[in-house]
Structure formats: C-alpha cells, structure tokens
Amino acid sequence: MAYPRKIRAASGERFGGYSEDGRLDGASAGRRTGAVPGADGRSCLPPCAGHLAFDQQGDGFVRSFPAEARGLHESYLRFKLTLDDVLAQAAGRRLPPWDDALDAVALRLRAARTDWFLAGSAALAVRGIDIVPRDLDLVVADAAGAIEALADVQIEPVSVNRPGSWIAQWFGRAFLHARVEWIAGVDPEIDVYGSPNEYGPRAASRLETVRWREHELAVAPLEVQLAVTEHRGLAARAEEIRDFIG
C-alpha cells in the first residue's frame, strides 16, 4: 500500500523511532525507552523506514501521532515487541507467514461482521500466482469493525485523515503473524486522480471471489491488478499475471 506524505502530517508527540544503532525512541511521554536487540532487518534502514512511512529525523526514523490518539501507549508497546519481525519481513530477510495472517484476519473480521476485500500482492497469491506477499492490504467497509477486530494487534494508532486529504479517511496498521494494513472511507474521487488503483469505487464495483482455505474472499479484480502492476513498472509480476490469465 502506498503512503503519500499527506498521511504523515499528524502532529503530536513522537510515537516511535528507531535509529541505525538500534535505539528505539518515543512513546507519548517522549522519553527514551532503551535499547532494542539488533534485528535481522535493521540493515534495510532507511529504505524500510521509508516504505513504512517513517520520516527521518537526525539519525532516527519516526512516525508521529496526536498525544491523545486512542491506544497510543498499547500500540507503542506492541510496536517494540514486533519491531524485529516487522523489519526483517519488510527487508525480505524473513518470509512473512502471510497465509496464517490472512486466515486469522479473515476470522476476526467475520466475527466483527465487517465487509472487506483484499488487494495488493496477497490478492494475487490467494489465486495461486507464485508470489510471497510482505504484508496484507485490506479495504474495509466499516472502520469501527476493523478497529474492533484488530485493536489488540495494532502497532500504531489508527490514523484519521481529513476528507480529501489522502486516499482514505481511515488507515490502520497491525501485526498478526505479518503486517496487516487497512483503509476505510476511500476517497470517491480516487478514480479521477489516482487511476489505475485497486481501492476506489471502480475496483470495488467489480470484486471477484476466490475460495481460499475455508474462506470465500472478495479480492480486487485481476485485470485492475494487472493495470496497476504495469503502471508501477513491475514487468516480471505483470508477466506472471498475464500467464495466469492465459
């Protein structure tokens, strides 16, 4: 999932930053929390930090949230506990158990009675295309349902964006075996300024269903995913999709 700078604009205390020497700064109190053991993925900084929408400040990388953000302290604690896995998986040094993550997320969202669909590389993998997703990208119909379903595994507070300021009003990030990122309240104009895309009304009106494990999964349309992949210049992945389509 792409993260335009608009999503990073929230003001407030430092939430969590990690530096090249492994220090982890932050929490709502703004105090240093101590050293974190070296992670397999630490060598991916700063590229991984940029991919995860962290901003560089001095020798560290931070994401900031309002001090009153719901679940700030709990999210920070989970962030510390999962940091090594988050970085190692983002760097490709540790294969994410994306299938276990998807199974668990699907069960949680079903229990919360929340409609959603799968986008990104995982929507290709569940079809049987040979790809290992590094995270899960979800579009959910009800932000409250997603918050309820994933509150105990979120690794940062849910971001609420002004209408029209980003591609969606809500953004959440959790870690449940692998990184799980979701959006809700997608900007209806995204098909005008951000085409092709897998998230907007045009894609949502053409969802496909894939039977995977014990789940009937709604997924982004394959032709739309091919167009997005070609637009991103991912030639090898686009060729795999074409081969799958036949």
User: What residue type is assigned to position 3 of the chain?
Assistant: Y
DSSP 154: B
Q: Which of 77, 57, 69 is closest to 10 using CA atoms? A: 69
Q: Which residue has the higher pLDDT, 2 or 161?
A: 161
pLDDT tens digit string along 123-137? Answer: 999 999 999 999 999
Domain boundaries, the chain: 5-90, 98-245
Q: Which residue has the higher pLDDT, 237 or 68?
A: 237
Q: Which of 246, 244, 2 is closest to 120 using CA atoms? A: 2
Tell which phi-psi region holds residue 164, choosing left (phi > 0), alpha (psi between -120 and 50) or beta: left
Q: In angstroms, rounded to a whole number, what is the distance separating the alpha carbons of residues 113 and 221?
A: 23
Write down the pLDDT at residue 20: 33
Is residue 183 within 8 Å of residue 140, measured between CB atoms?
A: yes
Residue with tokens 């269903």, as numbered in its chain? 209
Question: Which fold is adopted by the domain 98-245?
Answer: Beta Polymerase; domain 2 (3.30.460)
Write down the pLDDT at residue 182: 98
Q: Which residue has the higher pLDDT, 30 or 193?
A: 193
The reported pTM is: 0.83
